[in-house]
Structure 1
Amino acid sequence: MSLESDPFDLNESSILSWIWKLALIFIILINFKGLPFAWHIRILRGFRLVLRSNRQKNGPTPAQLFQPLIMSSRGSIMEMDYNLHKSNSTYFADLDVARAHLMCALFSRGIDYARNTKSGGIIGVSEGMIGLALGAVSCSFRKEVKPFQPYELWTRILSWDQKWIYVVTHFVRKDAIKPRSFTLLPGQVQRQGNLKDLVKKEDAIFASGLSKCVWKKGRRTIPPELFLQVSGLLPPRPGQDDYLSSMRQEPLPKLTFSRQVEEFYDIPFKIVEKMEMAWDTLTTHLSPELDDSSEDGLSMLGPKELEQQKVQEEWTWERIETERQRGMEIANRLMELDRLHGEFTGEADALGMRRDLW
């Protein structure tokens, strides 16, 4: 007598198998930030802002030097500590990604010049690759980020000295505060913020981080003021107009990376960007509309208003220098942390030695 399998059992096992697969895919998606090589992918996504196909023809300009670049993110399960909050150590990975996106967006022209020039040129050195090195980072925590809670990273240039560029990043409650306008990157879906439920804007901040970094070509340091001018972010000092304008016109040799290679590199990121824009558009239409009226002048500006604003808010070298000196008052506090190296007690008694799991 032959035994026939029960088709109901097969269907039931197949359904359970699909449920487990969908559950696994869902867990992976919501914890993508904690997966192996996810940090590298997030950094590489920032590098695409250097590509000539993504670079803005009329920017960035000195008026955009101190403007923040906003990134959206959310807490994942793999980032949680035993208090079920975003672990303090994971903030620094977010800072890496936020810095990469900001610096690639602002210094795209300078990076292209330093990467492709074969002579000393304005940079003064031709050997080696152009790169950004991190010298120090500090983070001050204010409020906890709960599991799956969305937040935004507002990252901008704070100041610079003869060697270091100081970058400040604020972890902000998502959609709590809206910018007046987006001036550089196109295709932005603006989510409306609401300040009426906040006593002050600091109530929306989860944490604030300060980083100092330096541009390097090979092993040589590129002075921040010089690289800012090469990138078109800093007007020349009085009396240097003719000198710098003539040096900027120095012709570059054949580009190292062809446009075809850049387009191939950008394909997967463009697909993800289209998916995100479609999702943002969908959620914006499905979410309840918030009051767009604003008493503090934060309503979104149209093209004509934005152009008038650019004319009125011209950033001269003197004005930028005043803002730089103001930011240095805070940046100097981070410089003081270098004195910690002298507190190392290498030849003193020790409590003992323990091993980590790996």
Structure 2
Amino acid sequence: MASSAGTVNRVLRLAGPALLPAIAYGAYKGNATGAIESFFTGPGRTSRIIALVVVLFNWKSLPMAWTVRVWSAMVSHFLFRRFHTHTPDKLFHPVITSTHVSLLEVDYNLHKSNSTYFADLDVSRSHLVSHLFARGCRALAHNATTKLVVDPSSSTSEPARGKFGVMLGAVHCSFRREIAPYQAYETWSRVLGWDRKWMYIVTHFVEKGAVRPRSWDAGSFGATRKTDGEPQEWERKIFATAVSKYVFKIGRLTVHPVVVIGESGLLPERPGGWVAVEDGAAQPAGLVTGGELPEANPSEWDWRRTEEERRKGEEFVRHFASLDGLHSRFDGGEDGALGRFGLG
């Protein structure tokens, strides 16, 4: 993800200033105004306008639309929002994106097809990681200079080399309610937790406008809850909930998630650090020390509150992570197969 964004960043910096005048001149020479007027007033205008409306309301299902949605998320945060910073108390805050069910996402039950949720997850996760961990991803993308991750095979502590990337390892989605054609909804994605290899992200599909946060972080805007009021039954507003896991890589080397989180300024100081080594393997210190956490100070966000939130997520991701063992249950049709069918 980060390596792709870095390439786009460099291309836009070099080509952007030249492309804008070229586009403007081309529109002028090509009489763009006349073409637009002819489109809306010339013969056959009704069919063209109807076709335009259909395209506008269903653009997210057009060819290459997924690529545009995902890349625009990465480019907007890595290129145009490069200077944002967040404090550790924002680590578990969600990012919210809005979209709707397009016509081509509707199945024969006349609601959003289950398979289309995963495209929305790609977009939502891209916004979260590109925004929250922009500084960490940028530092690791230049690891040869920053030397954050050392090549374990090097006897002289040389930095690990290779392209930095963020890879998706697995997704689980639990469906609760259907979403009707053209109905608007929001995706709320946040960090759920992490272990020595994976970062886990939870995403909720929520009715648009039904839930408002108590506040917005710096640089964001939108409506908020007017009063705290009584605890709401938010589950009634949820269409589906998904858990995804990401792994960070430099070449073929796995990067511990706390490196990315820490370099993004999102980890408070912790006695002994956030990573411990047990049996030669690095893992979160919380998994090594175990036991009860010291009581956290409610007036400040310290390492105990961060670890407490991580452990809350761990209760769910432990079961999710165990599903990797299902790969071993594939037997290659040892006892036979039902058949081979077309139009798959």
Structure 1 residue 354 and structure 2 residue 344: aligned?
A: no
Report the 3-state secondary structure (helix = DSSP H, G, I; strand = E; otherwise coil) of the residue aligned with 1:89: helix
Given candidates 180, 186, 199, the residue that maps to 1:165 is: 199
Deviation at 1:313, TM superposition (A): 5.3
For the structure 1 residues 194 and 95, does the alpha-carbon distance in structure 2 shift closer, same or farther, using more than 3 Å as the test? Answer: farther
**TM-score by structure 1 length?**
0.71
Given candidates 251, 267, 282, the residue that maps to 1:234 is: 267
Structure 2 counterpart of 1:61, which letter?
T
Corresponding residue for residue 12 of structure 2: none
Corresponding residue for residue 81 of structure 2: 54
Given candidates 318, 321, 345, the residue that maps to 2:304 is: 318
Distance (whole Å) between structure 2 residues aligned to residue 198 and residue 16 of structure 1: 58
Given candidates 237, 242, 247, the residue that maps to 1:204 is: 237
Deviation at 1:178, TM superposition (A): 0.2
The percentage of counterpart residues that share the same residue type is: 42
For the structure 1 residues 63 and 312, does the alpha-carbon distance in structure 2 shift closer, same or farther, using more than 3 Å as the test? Answer: same
Given candidates 209, 218, 232, the residue that maps to 2:251 is: 218
1:68-147 superposed matches below 5 A = 68-119=94-145, 121-124=147-150, 125-147=159-181
Greater CA drift, 105-114 or 348-357: 348-357
Contact kept, 8 Å, 2:59 with 2:65, in 1: the verdict is yes
Deviation at 1:191, TM superposition (A): 6.9
For the structure 1 residues 203 and 195, does the alpha-carbon distance in structure 2 shift closer, same or farther, using more than 3 Å as the test? Answer: farther
Corresponding residue for residue 35 of structure 2: none
Structure 1 counterpart of 2:59, which letter?
F
Distance (whole Å) between structure 1 residues aligned to residue 64 and residue 267 of structure 2: 36
Corresponding residue for residue 281 of structure 2: none
Q: Deviations over 1:263-300 (max 9, x none)?
A: xxxxxxxxxxxxxxxxxxxxxxxxxxxxxxxxxxxxxx
Report the 3-state secondary structure (helix = DSSP H, G, I; strand = E; otherwise coil) of the residue aligned with 2:270: coil
Structure 2 counterpart of 1:344, which letter?
F
Deviation at 1:192, TM superposition (A): 6.4
**TM-score by structure 2 length?**
0.74
Given candidates 42, 58, 81, the residue that maps to 1:31 is: 58
Distance (whole Å) between structure 1 residues aligned to residue 266 and residue 337 of structure 2: 50
Deviation at 1:75, TM superposition (A): 0.6
Contact kept, 8 Å, 2:74 with 2:126, in 1: the verdict is yes
Corresponding residue for residue 267 of structure 1: none
Distance (whole Å) between structure 1 residues aligned to residue 239 and residue 102 of structure 2: 16
Structure 2 counterpart of 1:179, which letter?
P
Deviation at 1:352, TM superposition (A): 1.1
For the structure 1 residues 240 and 137, does the alpha-carbon distance in structure 2 shift closer, same or farther, using more than 3 Å as the test? Answer: closer
Structure 2 counterpart of 1:55, which letter?
R
Distance (whole Å) between structure 2 residues aligned to residue 215 and residue 36 of structure 1: 29
Given candidates 17, 27, 44, the residue that maps to 2:71 is: 44
Contact kept, 8 Å, 2:140 with 2:146, in 1: the verdict is no
Greater CA drift, 230-239 or 217-226: 230-239
Distance (whole Å) between structure 2 residues aligned to residue 15 and residue 53 of structure 1: 40
Q: Deviations over 1:128-174 (max 9, x none)?
A: 22211111100000000001101010100000000000000000001
Structure 1 counterpart of 2:342, which letter?
R
Deviation at 1:221, TM superposition (A): 0.8
Q: Which has the higher contact order (CA 8 A, sep 6+)?
A: 1
Report the 3-state secondary structure (helix = DSSP H, G, I; strand = E; otherwise coil) of the residue aligned with 1:140: strand
Distance (whole Å) between structure 1 residues aligned to residue 59 and residue 227 of structure 2: 29
Given candidates 14, 19, 35, the residue that maps to 2:46 is: 19
Structure 1 counterpart of 2:338, which letter?
L
Contact kept, 8 Å, 2:78 with 2:130, in 1: the verdict is no
Deviation at 1:99, TM superposition (A): 0.5
For the structure 1 residues 194 and 339, does the alpha-carbon distance in structure 2 shift closer, same or farther, using more than 3 Å as the test? Answer: farther
Report the 3-state secondary structure (helix = DSSP H, G, I; strand = E; otherwise coil) of the residue aligned with 2:167: strand
Corresponding residue for residue 288 of structure 1: none
Contact kept, 8 Å, 2:78 with 2:131, in 1: the verdict is no
Structure 1 residue 339 and structure 2 residue 339: aligned?
A: no
Contact kept, 8 Å, 2:95 with 2:190, in 1: the verdict is yes
Structure 1 residue 329 and structure 2 residue 297: aligned?
A: no
1:173-322 superposed matches below 5 A = 173-186=207-220, 188-190=221-223, 200-239=233-272, 314-322=300-308
* Structure 1: runs of 5 or more not aligned: 1-10, 242-310
Structure 2 counterpart of 1:331, which letter?
V
Report the 3-state secondary structure (helix = DSSP H, G, I; strand = E; otherwise coil) of the residue aligned with 2:44: helix
Report the 3-state secondary structure (helix = DSSP H, G, I; strand = E; otherwise coil) of the residue aligned with 2:127: helix
Deviation at 1:53, TM superposition (A): 3.9
Contact kept, 8 Å, 1:175 with 1:191, in 2: the verdict is no
For the structure 1 residues 146 and 192, does the alpha-carbon distance in structure 2 shift closer, same or farther, using more than 3 Å as the test? Answer: farther
Distance (whole Å) between structure 1 residues aligned to residue 228 and residue 215 of structure 2: 16
Distance (whole Å) between structure 2 residues aligned to residue 66 and residue 197 of structure 1: 23
For the structure 1 residues 45 and 185, does the alpha-carbon distance in structure 2 shift closer, same or farther, using more than 3 Å as the test? Answer: farther
